[in-house]
Amino acid sequence: MEELKSFVQPKKRYSLEDSYHKACQDKDFSNYVKTLPISEEMLIKYTSSLEECVNMRKICRNCPGIKECPHSVKGYVLTPEKDNKRVIFSYVACSKKREILYKDNITYFEVSKDIKEANIKDIYKDDKARLPIIKYISEFIKSYGKDKQLQGLYLTGSFGSGKTYLISALLNEMAKRGVKSVIVYYPDFLRELKSSFGEDFDEKYNQAKKSPILFIDDIGAESCSSWNRDEILGSILQYRMEEHLTTFFTSNLSLKELEKHLSITSSGEEKVKARRIIERIKQLTTEMELVSKNRRD
Ligand code: ADP
Ligand code: MG
């Protein structure tokens, strides 16, 4: 009996290590395990699951697109994660699947394709004027998970300087992290709201008003009326202020110029109403300016 024990135990340990080192002869396997924040001692216990992870990733290299994904759960790959003294394996969305999933977290009204695809990794960093905004963006990403009541930006500045791109890239990133946003191109959003009276007006209006993050793009480019100023914009902003919901704006107008734009006529009453909107925007945001070269051509 004693003899048998001393024979069985060393053989078992030897075979686990052996199969791990054998698997490491495969370049893909050894490169993959090097990227994991898990000690070799622990990895040795999970060789066959790790081999499955590597095999799935080899297949992913020739990805035929999500619809044709050859894996049993389309768009998901087996992934190891350290959990105390164990390694657990679960199916995690691949990069293609994540691209699709994030789009469920963001609603765009009348927004161009390049804005939908805006990515913080692609933000030009060649221009010093952008640095304070880039810094704001990275702070926002770090802090929003802990504090949902962060102030947004009122980003003003020259035409084509990248205002819309920068805020959209931030919200696309937040969507990838599971945070829901609505982006509206303001002049067209108003037109759409007007034409949806009696149909899905309430749904569209409430979606923007109540979104955890709302981005009103190009405010000041609309033709102002007392209806859109007081009934639409005024009510949306009032609600968002009371609920402490993060709101962003971009505009070619400074807040001072926007106040003038919203006054429509110079009658005293209109001025007070315009002032009220500006006060709400100031409560919701910090004003920043981006003057840079026109990137539209
Ligand atoms: P603005 O809103 O200030 O008028 P946009 O954000 O629409 O300007 O930018 C103009 C063009 O330049 C867009 O086509 C956009 O895709 C591109 N662009 C602007 N900023 C960047 C950036 N930081 N990185 C990549 N592309 C950008
Ligand atoms: Mg813009």
**Are 120 and 173 contacting, i.e. CB atoms less than 8 angstroms apart?**
yes
**Are 264 and 277 contacting, i.e. CB atoms less than 8 angstroms apart?**
no
Query: What single-letter amino acid sits at 188?
Result: D
Burial of 238 (0-12, 13-18, 19+ CB in 10 A): middle
Nearest CA to ligand 1 atom 5: 162
161 lines ligand 1 (CB under 6 A): yes
**Are 236 and 228 contacting, i.e. CB atoms less than 8 angstroms apart?**
no
Q: Please name every residue paired with 119 in a beta bridge, in sequence order, or none if there are none.
A: none
What mean pLDDT comes out for the span 159-182?
Answer: 93
User: What is the structure's pLDDT at 26?
Assistant: 97
Strand order in the sheet with 213-217: 106-109, 181-185, 213-217, 246-251, 152-157, 285-290
- The CA–CA distances, whole Å, from 55 to 47, 92, 135, 185 equal 12, 15, 40, 45
User: What is the structure's pLDDT at 11?
Assistant: 54
36 lines ligand 1 (CB under 6 A): no
Could you report the per-residue pLDDT of 36-81, keeping only the tens digit for each?
Answer: 999 999 999 999 999 999 999 999 999 999 999 999 989 999 999 9
Q: Does residue 224 sit in helix, strand or coil?
A: coil
156 lines ligand 1 (CB under 6 A): no
User: What is the structure's pLDDT at 151?
Assistant: 94
122 lines ligand 1 (CB under 6 A): yes
Give the global pTM: 0.75
Task: Output the CA 76–ligand 2 centroid distance in Å.
Answer: 36
pLDDT bucket at 255, cuts 50 / 70 / 90: very high
Q: Is the pLDDT of residue 297 over 70?
A: no
DSSP 251-270: ESS-HHHHHHHHT-S--HHH
